[in-house]
Amino acid sequence: MVGTIVNTACIVVGTLVGSALKSRLSEKLQNALYGALGLVTLALGANMCVRNFPKSEFPVLFIVSICLGAVAGWGLDISGRIERAAEKHNVSRLVQGLTTACLLYCIGTLSIVGPIMSAVYGDNTYLYTNATLDLVSSTVFAATYGIGMVWGALVLFCWQGSIYAIAYFLNSADFIPEALMAEISIVGGLLLLSSGLSILKIKDLKTVNMLPALLVPILFYLIKGLF
């Protein structure tokens, strides 16, 4: 768990540094940083999709995942519930930032393979690399959205901690097939693209409502493994 703890600590440190910088930035600079973050989010989402499309064994699975996820999110009114709670506490913009940050922190090869390598082989290289990237990302996010972005550290810890625990008790590095990781990454990339469009105020696609889409590839492979 050392690698995950370091990764979590880096997000906390980055958030503290970023929030300290935020108070020193003018409103114009904050808006410029906000636009830059939206552009970077689009680029990262597109890159994640393009890199993993060739690895997909089921080219239509990501389409089904996004559609089913959107339907489930709409039925549960995830976005509406969160927006109402956020407006009540005046943190609407923060929720948007947390959604984007948590996707960036958690959905990626380093954040999925890292805990597995750590649990099975004691190798924290992936997690230390991810921690370095997250240190920079969390600083930028906090400089844009504020100290509330520290909640992203808790989400990452729970995510990586769960993967670590499963890999440790199974003592296997293969419980998440590479094909499944590719499908999750494609869906995650599309959600990042959606977040980027929202940040840039191009189109609000209610990314939060589509989060259940991340579960569809997992359920598909679980059912597929039974036959």
pLDDT tens digits along 90-122 = 677 788 889 999 999 998 888 998 999 999 999
Inter-residue contact 118 to 1 (CB < 8 Å): yes
pLDDT of residue 86: 66
Percent pLDDT > 70 in the chain is 98
- CA separation, residue 149 to residues 31, 93, 155, 169, 205 (Å): 17, 11, 11, 31, 21
Summarize pLDDT for 190-219 with one digit per residue, the tens.
999 999 998 888 998 889 889 999 999 999
pLDDT beyond 90 at 131: yes
Helix (H) or strand (E) holding 42: helix 27-52
Summarize pLDDT for 166-182 with one digit per residue, the tens.
999 988 777 788 889 89
pTM recorded for the entire structure: 0.85
**Could you count the other beta carbons within 10 Å of the beta carbon of residue 102?**
19
Summarize pLDDT for 14-36 with one digit per residue, the tens.
999 999 988 888 888 888 888 88
Kindly list the domain boundaries of the chain, sorted by start residue: 2-224
Residues with Cβ within 8 Å of residue 43, at least 6 apart in sequence: 196
